[in-house]
């Protein structure tokens, strides 16, 4: 890359950083105390990925998704999954109109920029597969016809980590389709007090939000972040971490090549969000947990001994030395 091209690209990522700061501040005005979670969601959005949120009910997942859609000018839909939810309830269906004697397509909630799928593991495997096509290919198939989803398309699915009665566990193939797995967590005491005071009105604060950007800009930035520089030694470090998960004796199935690509792309986006046109090893380390967590399957013996996926990731990070890079700025 020439010096002129490097300066031009540095300017592009500065625009990404400014955009991320503006959007994060707007969302953070109603979803309090979780700036790092908001940042990770913006990273996933810039990578055209999707996020699995594992947390108990009542931690603000719906408000987070609504706020994100509102401030970016996108269309938001929500699906509450139940065992009787059908694929047509998600994708839409053609309805016969006797007056015109024609069929007309009525789109389902998947036709949105932001889709919140609440308790995805309560939907049957058949319905989950309809969501899988949307996530993997950016399209749906209805009655033999393919329909493209709007851009950007960002799916946030939730899963209750403590209640599994009447659920259908997500297959490993579908877990691997999520770019990252995140947890909302409880707010700090001071932030929860702010939440209580913010609710002392006749409507939720999210209803007062306005768009601070538009979806067209997001689509442009999704292309921009793919050019963030990844030094060869940083790429080697990433692959060494992946290999460490595959060679761990407590692991039955390690991180897949799709997981390697997910970590690569999210590191590029995180660097851009933080105003850098190059990836540093700290980006890789920070994203290893949310990217790897659902892509590692422990061996039966390891589960009996009480080992955890987090321990496997921690061991990989400790056993692989990060490279030392020269300052590019």
Residues 121-170: pLDDT tens digits? 899 988 988 888 888 888 888 877 888 999 999 999 988 777 667 788 88
Q: Give the architecture (CATH level 2) of 3-224.
A: 3-Layer(aba) Sandwich (3.40)
Q: Is a pLDDT exceeding 80 seen at residue 321?
A: yes
What is the maximum span of the chain, computed from C-alpha positions, in angstroms? 71
Tens digit of pLDDT for each residue in 227-260?
Answer: 999 999 999 999 999 999 999 999 999 999 999 9
Q: What is the pLDDT confidence band of residue 8, given thresholds at 50, 70 and 90?
A: low
- The answer to whether the bond into 152 is cis (omega within 30° of 0) is yes
Please tell me what DSSP assigns to residue 245: H
Burial of 248 (0-12, 13-18, 19+ CB in 10 A): buried
Tokens representing 120 are 């995805």
What is the average pLDDT value for the chain, to the nearest integer?
A: 89
Answer yes or no: pTM beyond 0.75. yes
What integer pLDDT is reported at residue 27 of this predicted model?
95
Residue 300 reports pLDDT greater than 90 = yes
User: What pLDDT sits at residue 328?
Assistant: 57
Helix%, strand%, coil% for the chain, nearest 5: 50, 15, 35
Q: Spell out the residues 6+ positions from residue 180 whose beta carbon is closer than 8 angstroms to its own.
A: 40, 43, 44, 49, 51, 52, 262, 266, 287, 290, 291
Intrachain domains 3-224 and 228-329 with the same fold: no
Beta carbons within 10 angstroms of residue 36's beta carbon:
11
Q: How do residues 78-113 score in pLDDT, each as one tens digit?
A: 999 999 999 999 999 888 788 887 888 888 999 999
Residue spans of the domains in the chain: they are 3-224, 228-329
pLDDT above 70: residue 6: no
User: In this structure, are residues 129 and 32 in contact, taking their beta carbons and an 8 Å threshold?
Assistant: no
228-329: CATH topology: Helicase, Ruva Protein; domain 3 (1.10.8)
């Amino acid at each position: 890359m020439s010096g002129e091209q490097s300066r031009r690209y540095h300017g592009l990522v500065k625009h990404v950083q400014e955009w991320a700061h503006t959007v994060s501040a707007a969302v953070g005005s109603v979803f309090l105390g979780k700036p790092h979670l908001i940042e990770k969601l913006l990273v996933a959005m810039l990578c055209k990925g999707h996020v699995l949120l594992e947390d108990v009910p009542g931690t603000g997942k719906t408000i987070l998704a609504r706020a994100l859609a509102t401030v970016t000018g996108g269309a938001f839909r929500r699906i509450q999954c139940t065992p009787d939810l059908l694929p047509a309830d998600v994708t839409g269906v053609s309805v016969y109109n006797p007056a015109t004697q024609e069929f007309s397509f009525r789109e389902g909630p998947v036709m949105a920029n932001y889709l919140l799928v609440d308790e995805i593991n309560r939907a049957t495997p058949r319905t989950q597969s309809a969501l899988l096509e949307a996530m993997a290919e950016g399209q749906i198939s209805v009655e033999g016809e393919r329909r493209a989803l709007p851009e950007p398309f960002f799916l946030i699915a939730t899963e209750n980590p403590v209640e599994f009665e009447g659920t259908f566990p997500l297959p490993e193939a579908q877990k691997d389709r999520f770019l990252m797995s995140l947890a909302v967590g409880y707010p700090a005491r001071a932030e929860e007090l702010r939440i209580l005071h913010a609710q002392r009105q006749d409507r939720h604060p999210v209803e007062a939000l306005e768009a601070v950007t538009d979806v067209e800009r997001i689509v442009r930035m999704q292309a921009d972040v793919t050019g963030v520089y990844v030094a060869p030694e940083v790429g080697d470090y990433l692959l060494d971490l992946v290999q460490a998960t595959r060679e761990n004796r407590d692991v039955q199935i390690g991180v897949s090549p799709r997981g390697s690509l997910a970590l690569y792309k999210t590191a590029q986006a995180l660097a851009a969000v933080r105003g850098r046109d190059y990836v540093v090893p700290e980006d890789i380390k920070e994203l290893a947990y949310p990217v790897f967590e659902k892509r590692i399957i422990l061996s039966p013996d390891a589960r009996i001994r009480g080992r955890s996926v987090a321990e496997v990731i921690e061991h990989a990070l400790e056993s692989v030395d990060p490279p030392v890079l020269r300052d590019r700025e």
